[in-house]
């Protein structure tokens, strides 16, 4: 099956710094990727939809200047958390969409745990 990777799997950063998370589709091209956020013992909340070569579409309530998304190639999307604060600590999961015949399949990465101290 299709594989989506994320890097890093775990990152600790200091308050006020920025951190970048990468999401790669390893064996398929993904024109669309999605970024989710998951707090402990909670569900996945969609943050934004990332489209290759164009601006990301953010869900209501998500600060686009805080969470910068770049989808510069068909296999890579990045999420940069700018000026991170402890409340940004969370588990971030990306998902990539692959067109399979007559429908889209969506594959999930293993997630990135961000801890802001």
Partner 1 sequence: AQTVTQSQPEMSVQEAETVTLSCTYDTSESDYYLFWYKQPPSRQMILVIRQEAYKQQNATENRFSVNFQKAAKSFSLKISDSQLGDAAMYFCAYKADKIIFGKGTRLHILP
Q: Are 25 and 2 in contact (CB under 8 A)?
A: yes
The full DSSP string for 27-58 is SS--SEEEEEEE-TTS-EEEEEEEETTS--EE
Task: Report, in Å, the least distance between residue 51 CB and partner 1.
Answer: 12
**Backbone φ and ψ of 4, nearest 5°:** -120, 130
Chain residues 34-73 in contact with partner 1, contact rule CB under 8 A: 34, 38, 42-46, 49
The answer to whether 26 contacts partner 1 (rule: CB under 8 A) is: no
Which residue, 14 or 40, has its beta carbon nearer to partner 1? 40
The answer to whether 115 contacts partner 1 (rule: CB under 8 A) is: no
Q: Are 52 and 31 in contact (CB under 8 A)?
A: yes
**Chain residues in the site for partner 1 (CB under 8 A):** 34, 38, 42-46, 49, 91, 93, 95, 103, 106, 108, 110-111
């Amino acid at each position: 099956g299709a594989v989506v990777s994320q890097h890093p799997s775990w990152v600790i950063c200091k308050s006020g710094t920025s951190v970048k998370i990468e999401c790669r589709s390893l064996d398929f091209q993904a024109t669309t990727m999605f970024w989710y956020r998951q707090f402990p013992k909670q569900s996945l909340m969609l943050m934004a939809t990332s489209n290759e070569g164009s601006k990301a579409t953010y869900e209501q309530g998500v600060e686009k200047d805080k969470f910068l998304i770049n989808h510069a190639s068909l296999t890579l999307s990045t999420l940069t958390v700018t000026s991170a604060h402890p409340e940004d600590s969370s588990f971030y999961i990306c998902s990539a969409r692959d067109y399979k015949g007559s429908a889209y399949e969506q594959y999930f990465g293993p997630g990135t745990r961000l801890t802001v101290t």
